[in-house]
Amino acid sequence: MKKKLEKAKLAYKDLNFLISNEARPMRILSEYLEPAKRFTENNIRNTVVFFGSARANPKDKKSMGNYWAAEEMAFKLGNLSKDLKKKDLPFTVCTGGGPGIMEAANRGADRAGVKSIGLNIEIPFEQFPNQYISKELNFEFHYFFMRKLWFFCHAKAIIVFPGGFGTFDELFEMLTLLQTEKIERENFSILLFNKEYWDSVINFKSLVANGVISEKDLELFSYFSTVDEGFSFLKPRLIKSIKRNSNCI
């Protein structure tokens, strides 16, 4: 007599299936639906996103200026967010969730006593959740493109500090989305900290001279040298952008 068969696993409880190639669409969809649920639960409607090097160190002479500028900028924005929340114009500081500039921005928001978001990515090195992210807004992604979607779809401004490949990737993706009007340009701000650094690593004017971008494309971003300068520039534009309540989806 044949033994009685055990019940097969439910497909959504079968880990071997869930990590298979065939289940990739489910994994991608999960990285959309689960963050969407948490963002809604935490009333996340608008964000200001910080990008920059994961290697910035608060004690290293070469990068500490960038680290503490990011921390102070996030602190000032955190205090602004408390005031705007009273007018039902909320926004939340958002980072990639790891060390360096990401940690600095989450740290500044934490010092201001407000929640902040960390969108971590699963990679072999450097990336781990910093201790200043709000627990309920700590995310982990496998797919870079799903992480980018959540960086950009609620963003009303991005603030970019000196960084490497990852920072360039994020900056140029946002510039492309604005250039192609996948995100509305009006009142949206891209701020680059430390013009000297950016001029030394990217020759934007050469792109214009070679005819691969237009002169008008240089208006998609602005530079700032001090926190006060950047905050004064950003504040009125951020408020106008939040009032428009538009995003990319």
Instruction: Provide mean pLDDT across the span 152-178.
Output: 96
- Tell me the pLDDT tens digit for each residue of 57-100: 999 999 999 999 999 999 999 999 999 999 999 999 999 999 99
Question: What separation, in Å, do the N-terminal and C-terminal C-alpha atoms of the chain show?
Answer: 59
Query: Which helix (H) or strand (E) is 84 found in, with range?
Result: helix 64-85
- Tell me the pLDDT tens digit for each residue of 98-108: 999 999 999 99
Give the contacts of 148 (CB within 8 A, at least 6 positions apart): 170, 173
| Topology of domain 44-243, CATH | Rossmann fold (3.40.50)
* Domain residue ranges of the chain, discontinuous segments joined by +: 44-243
Residue 247 and residue 154 in contact, taking contact as beta carbons nearer than 8 Å: yes
Backbone phi, psi, residue 106, to 5°: -60, -35
The predicted pLDDT at position 147 comes to: 97
Give the contacts of 206 (CB within 8 A, at least 6 positions apart): none
CA torsion angle for 196, 200, 201, 202 (degrees, to 10)?
80
- As a whole number, the mean pLDDT across the chain is 94
- Which single residue is written with the structure tokens 């949206």? 188
